[in-house]
């Protein structure tokens, strides 16, 4: 649990070892599986609710749509792992960082650990919140507004931001050691993309409320 309680010391020790992607990949895989389950549940609930309003030939694709959503969520998790690392790599390079991409990829993977806990919590809350929402294809815009205005879904957004900040804290030290930066430049490297995303999430949350 050192990445959670002492990320600075954890990555300092990791710098003395060979780069190993197995553990980080497993962490990201767990996050991806949880995301897949979440996507499957949500897609299943929506499809089940709107199935009576769909033509018989379209209703048969409901199950396929749920499975596709789950598989897509799993792959997107790994893609986001690579994208986050790529952004950190580029920004840190501008700030004078050195070090190979593979080690940074491995270190950023440990930053996904808080996401495991956050995803479990938000999956449960999402299921609870979505179960109380009426879905209708007659007015998709109104359905979307109902989802966004639901207090439980707003809570999901808030919890997501909290765990993202925890992830960012770990990634700051991941970048610091993997790219040989000081803490200030590591904070800038992680803070720019994560800050923009959190700002976007905050604006959306305010609009939801």
Query: How do residues 114-168 score in pLDDT, each as one tens digit?
Result: 999 999 998 888 877 777 666 655 655 656 666 666 777 788 888 989 999 999 9
Rounded Cα distance between 70 and 4, Å, is 28
Chain position carrying tokens 């020790």: 13
Cα separation of 80 and 76, whole Å? 6
Domain span holding position 142: 2-208
Per-residue pLDDT of the chain (209 residues; tens, 9 = 90+): 688 999 999 999 999 999 899 999 999 999 999 999 988 888 777 776 666 666 666 656 666 777 888 899 999 999 999 999 999 999 999 999 999 999 999 999 999 999 999 999 988 888 777 776 666 556 556 566 666 667 777 888 889 899 999 999 999 999 999 999 999 999 999 999 999 998 988 887 777 66
User: Residue 203: what pLDDT?
Assistant: 83
Which residue, among 197, 164, 184, has the nearest Cα to 97 in the 3D structure? 184
What Å distances lie between residue 21 and 93, 106, 132, CA to CA?
A: 22, 5, 41
Rounded Cα–Cα distance for residues 192 and 84 (Å): 11
Look at residue 50 in the predicted model and tell me its pLDDT: 65
Total structural domains in the chain?
A: 1
For 16, residues 6+ apart whose C-beta sits below 8 A from its C-beta are none
pLDDT of residue 39: 87
- Structure confidence at residue 12 (pLDDT): 94
Q: Check: CB of residue 102 under 8 Å from CB of residue 21.
A: yes
């Amino acid at each position: 649990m050192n990445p959670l309680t002492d990320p600075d010391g954890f990555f300092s020790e990791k710098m003395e070892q060979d780069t190993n992607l197995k553990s980080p990949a497993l962490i990201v895989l767990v996050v991806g599986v949880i995301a897949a389950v979440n996507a499957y549940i949500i897609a299943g609930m929506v499809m089940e609710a709107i199935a009576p309003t769909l033509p018989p030939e379209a209703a048969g694709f409901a199950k396929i749509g749920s499975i596709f959503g789950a598989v897509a969520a799993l792959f997107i998790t790994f893609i986001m792992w690579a994208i986050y690392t790529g952004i950190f790599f580029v920004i840190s390079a501008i700030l004078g960082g050195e070090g190979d991409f593979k080690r940074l990829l491995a270190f950023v993977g440990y930053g996904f650990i808080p996401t495991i806990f956050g995803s479990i919590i938000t999956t449960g809350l999402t299921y609870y919140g979505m179960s109380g929402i009426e879905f209708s294809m007659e007015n998709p815009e109104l359905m979307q507004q109902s989802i966004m205005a639901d207090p439980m879904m707003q809570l999901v957004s808030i919890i997501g931001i909290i765990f993202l900040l925890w992830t960012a804290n770990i990634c700051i030290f991941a970048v610091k050691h993997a790219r040989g930066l000081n803490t200030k430049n590591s904070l800038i490297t992680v803070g720019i993309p994560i800050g923009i995303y959190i700002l976007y999430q905050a604006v959306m949350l305010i609009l939801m409320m």
